[in-house]
Amino acid sequence: MNEILDPFKISQKQLSDACKLANYDNDIYNALSEPERFVEIKITMKMDDGKINTFKGFRSQYNSARGPMKGGIRWHPDESASLVKALSAWMTWKTACVDIPLGGAKGGIICDPRAMSNRELETLARSYIRQLADFIGPNIDVPAPDVYTNPQIMAWMQDEYEKIVRRHAPSVITGKPLPLGGSAGRSIATAKGGVYCIREAARDIGLDLNGATAAIQGYGNAGSWAAKLLKDEYGCNIIAVSDSKGGIYNKNGIDPFAAAEFKEKTRTVVGLKETNQISNEELLELECDILVPAALENQITRENVNNINCKILAELANGPTTPEADENLFKNGILVIPDFLCNAGGVTVSYFEMVQGYYRYFWTEKEVFEALDRVMTRAYRSTVEQAKKYKTHNRMGAYIISLERVIDAMRLRGWL
Ligand code: GLU
């Protein structure tokens, strides 16, 4: 049988496995297996060269039982309805796993922002919000950055929304720049949260992080910050990093700051001095202590899972591992920190940004990270505990916790 690679089908398979494990019946599965609302939009705009382009966009609002729905917006050529739905499901389990009072959503536009000018990006951002303004809002659904979107794009979106409603409404969006109501620490938050989990995992298996080897796939916001934090704060040896153009390797260590600067100038890490070029596939199979997929989905599959040679697999990306690969990782004794736990630092600090926005009082970065550490450590501990209790892997452990919280809220509301 072919392996399931469709992201939404994967999310449904995970949900169904978790429902079976925790003894929820089919009615509960049906109540949770589709988004509450899925909006598809069309954006037509004039490009700088005068050409008219039409883009397809989406917003999937998966579950609102625990609070306003929350999740990023991805701009990527391979964006799809299925992917956005899957990501919105994972957002629902993510906010529940770290126990913040929010639901789950996700958005996307099929486009290649790397090939667009600033003016084009701004027009696209504003148009997306105009099409969706009736469906989002601080108490409805709150977007944020994701793959290839950033604080500047959030600022344009915030401004467009505020123009439409004719009042300030900074908590309509998070990941904003600091002067517009952003939170200290938000841009590092995803990596920071993942690194707190790695610290806990290393403690559990008796791995000394000082000198531990790490390979990082993906050198965007999450991946590059993870590399810097692992090296700077814990003394890890970063032996390989990569981006969409390929990877680089040096067994004696790569300077993650130099790699980031090099990428800033040349748009890729490939070619950094004193490194050898490797492929993304090779990077995943390197022998190392910590492997961090921080790029896109479906990277660890039936095909390569038995070649994965790390002690801790810290999933900063959403959906990097297929369900079949999960079973094998578990059999092979690899400690997986599952995506919606490992990368929940981003949405947790988004939540702190909303809180600060509501009372218009802003915390220091130290305060943000202390609060984040408490949330992540508690979520990590309860995931591991739950997995042990059910004799399953950590992804299922995380699912069981999240499901219980979402189902509880739905029951209290009388939805179930
Ligand atoms: N896009 C990030 C995620 O996948 C952050 C979402 C948010 O802050 O709402 O978790």
Whichever domain contains 222, its CATH number is 3.40.50.720
- Residue among 106, 176, 192, 263 flagged as catalytic: 106
85 Cα to the center of ligand 1, angstroms: 14
Tell me the percentage of the chain whose pLDDT exceeds 70.
Answer: 100
Ranges of beta strands (E only) in 212-293 are 213-217, 237-243, 246-249, 276-278, 290-293
Is 114 in the same domain as 229?
A: no
Q: Does 265 participate in catalysis according to the annotation?
A: no
Give residue 1's pLDDT.
85
Is 101 in the same domain as 150?
A: yes
Confidence of residue 294 (pLDDT cuts 50, 70, 90): very high
Give residue 71's pLDDT.
98
Confirm whether 391 is domain-assigned: no
Q: In this structure, what token pair is assigned to residue 199?
A: 């610290």
Is 163 in the same domain as 275?
A: no
Is 136's C-beta closer than 6 angstroms to any atom of ligand 1?
no
Beta-bridge partner residues of 224: none
Is 161 in the same domain as 208?
A: no
Is 134 in the same domain as 238?
A: no
Confirm whether 9 is domain-assigned: no
Q: Which atom of ligand 1 is nearest to the CA of 94?
A: 10
Find the DSSP H helices in 134-220.
Answer: 151-165, 189-205
pLDDT tens, position by position, 313-363: 999 999 999 999 999 999 999 999 999 999 999 999 999 999 999 999 999
Is 204 in the same domain as 78?
A: no
Is 154 in the same domain as 68?
A: yes
pLDDT tens, position by position, 9-61: 999 999 999 999 999 999 999 999 999 999 999 999 999 999 999 999 999 99
Is 339's C-beta closer than 6 angstroms to any atom of ligand 1?
no
Domains contained in the chain, number:
2
Is 126's C-beta closer than 6 angstroms to any atom of ligand 1?
no
94 Cα to the center of ligand 1, angstroms: 9
91 Cα to the center of ligand 1, angstroms: 7
Confirm whether 143 is domain-assigned: yes
Is 71's C-beta closer than 6 angstroms to any atom of ligand 1?
yes
276 Cα to the center of ligand 1, angstroms: 33
Is 153 in the same domain as 107?
A: yes
Is 146's C-beta closer than 6 angstroms to any atom of ligand 1?
yes
Confirm whether 17 is domain-assigned: no
Is 275's C-beta closer than 6 angstroms to any atom of ligand 1?
no
Mutate to test the pocket of ligand 1, among 61, 83, 91 (most ligand atoms within 8 A of CB): 91
CATH code assigned at 99: 3.40.50.10860
Confirm whether 380 is domain-assigned: no
345 Cα to the center of ligand 1, angstroms: 8
Confirm whether 407 is domain-assigned: no
Please give the C-alpha separations between residue 173 and each of 16, 79, 85, 161, in angstroms, as whole numbers. 32, 21, 19, 9
For residue 327, count other CB atoms closer than 10 A to its CB: 14
Confirm whether 256 is domain-assigned: yes
Is 196 in the same domain as 132?
A: no
306 Cα to the center of ligand 1, angstroms: 30
Mutate to test the pocket of ligand 1, among 94, 106, 347 (most ligand atoms within 8 A of CB): 347
Kindly state the average pLDDT of the residues 139-162. 97
Tell me the percentage of the chain whose pLDDT exceeds 90.
Answer: 100
Is 234 in the same domain as 151?
A: no
Dihedrals φ, ψ of 317, to 5°?
A: -75, 165
Is 205 in the same domain as 337?
A: yes
Is 67's C-beta closer than 6 angstroms to any atom of ligand 1?
no
Q: Which of 342, 361, 393 is the last residue of a domain?
A: 342
Is 146 in the same domain as 248?
A: no
CA-atom Rg of the chain in angstroms = 20
Q: Which atom of ligand 1 is nearest to the CA of 175?
A: 8
Q: Who's near 314: CB < 8 A, 6+ residues apart?
A: 194, 197, 198, 201, 226, 290, 291, 292, 337, 342
Mutate to test the pocket of ligand 1, among 172, 190, 221, 315 (most ligand atoms within 8 A of CB): 190
> Exposure pattern of 223-234 as b/e (b: 16+ CB <10 Å)?
bbbbbbbbbeeb
pLDDT tens, position by position, 214-234: 999 999 999 999 999 999 999
Is 183's C-beta closer than 6 angstroms to any atom of ligand 1?
no
Confirm whether 16 is domain-assigned: no
Give me the domain span that covers residue 139. 37-171
pLDDT tens, position by position, 232-249: 999 999 999 999 999 999
pLDDT at 311 over 90: yes
Nearest Cα neighbor of 336 from 356, 322, 353, 350 is: 322
Q: Which of 138, 171, 204 is the last residue of a domain?
A: 171
Per-chain mean pLDDT for the chain:
98
144 Cα to the center of ligand 1, angstroms: 6
pLDDT tens, position by position, 85-124: 999 999 999 999 999 999 999 999 999 999 999 999 999 9
Kindly state the average pLDDT of the residues 395-407. 98
Q: Which atom of ligand 1 is nearest to the CA of 142?
A: 9
Q: Which atom of ligand 1 is nearest to the CA of 70?
A: 9
Please give the C-alpha separations between residue 179 and each of 151, 182, 362, 384, in angstroms, as whole numbers. 11, 7, 11, 39
